[in-house]
Amino acid sequence: MNREQQLRRRVRAMTALVIAGLTLSGATAIPLQWELDVLAAWLPLEWIARVHAALQEVTAKHPFLAYGTDWLAFGHFVIAIAFVGAWREPVRNRWLFDFGLVACALVVPYALVMGGCRGIPLWWRLIDCSFGVLCAIPLWLCRRDTTELAQLTARRP
């Protein structure tokens, strides 16, 4: 296998990982009540119990508010679909890797600031920040490899 094939294979694998992560993250935004039922049973932490009780109360009195997390899920799905373009043609769509890296960088201040404004404990905000940091790794690798791939394909006769 030549270098170009190696790079394409690696970029596709890392992009598929990003797509899967976005899809899974979006999918988990829909069944919140069930997820918190499970989480509260497994992790008897005060914060989890508080969130669980609040979600039960809100769901019972105002079930339409869950529509907001349905749209959060939709946003994740749409962004995942956009990355299919990068999976198919990474050099032409390498701007998506920059877009993704910017989004990952923005997760950190957004989670820290908005989470602080909403009374979210610091340890939970750091968990939220970790999603941006972890997703940045495969995106950075894709960006690096597509840059090299572009140089290789530009030299072809």
Query: Measuring CA to CA, which residue among 32, 3, 18 is closest to residue 104?
Result: 18
pLDDT score recorded for residue 1: 75
pTM for this entry: 0.92
Domain borders along the chain are 3-152
Spans of the chain, pLDDT less than 70:
157
pLDDT, residue 111, reads 97
Q: Report the C-alpha gap between 95 and 146 in whole angstroms.
A: 10
Q: Which residues of 43-65 are buried (b: 16+ CB within 10 A; e: fewer)?
A: eeeeebeebbeebeeeeeeeeee
Residue 58, CA atoms < 13 Å, CB-side half-sphere: 13
